[in-house]
Amino acid sequence: MGRTAAVAGTVALALSVLAGCGGEKSPYCEAVEADQKTLDSFGADKSDAGFGTYAKALAEIAELAPASSKKAWTALSGATQGVVDAHAAVGFKLEDMDDQKKREGLSAGDVESLNAAYKAFNGTTDQRKAVVADVKKTCDITLK
């Protein structure tokens, strides 16, 4: 009888320790939570600095993403970084895109390069939907 009580006590202690661990978030979910404000405002700051912040957050999360969503995070990260890189390569600030006079100063090659980057970025609609769904399912975090 004493042995059964000792085993039951050990099992109860082990279960309470394991239950405490269950509340821990994965590094992936912690990264999403830390960058939730940036993710929720994605695309609102149409500047070199803004897109640089988005690209950095997406790259960090892509590194930690589970296999089920890693490809989508990586594609979204790459396309966002592609916009940043295209602007840097042609020497044209993203925040100047609304200035027609400045846009007219771009060469045909520069316009083609920027258009390719934006086309790749705009082609990530499915990936954006996938990461939002994955974050909800995996982390119980609702992104806007």
Contact 31, 61 (CB under 8 A): yes
Q: Return d(Cα 33, Cα 26) in angstroms, integer.
A: 11
Predicted local distance difference test score (pLDDT) of residue 94: 94
24 band by pLDDT with thresholds 50, 70 and 90:
confident
Mean pLDDT estimate for the chain: 86
Q: What is the pLDDT of residues 77-135, one digit of tens each?
A: 999 999 999 999 999 999 999 999 999 999 999 999 999 999 999 999 999 999 999 99
Q: Return d(Cα 77, Cα 59) in angstroms, integer.
A: 5
42 band by pLDDT with thresholds 50, 70 and 90:
confident
Predicted local distance difference test score (pLDDT) of residue 18: 36
Average pLDDT over residues 63-77: 96
pLDDT at 11 over 70: no
Tell me how long the chain is: 144
> Buried (b) or exposed (e) across 19-32, using 16+ Cβ within 10 A?
eeeeeeeeebbebb
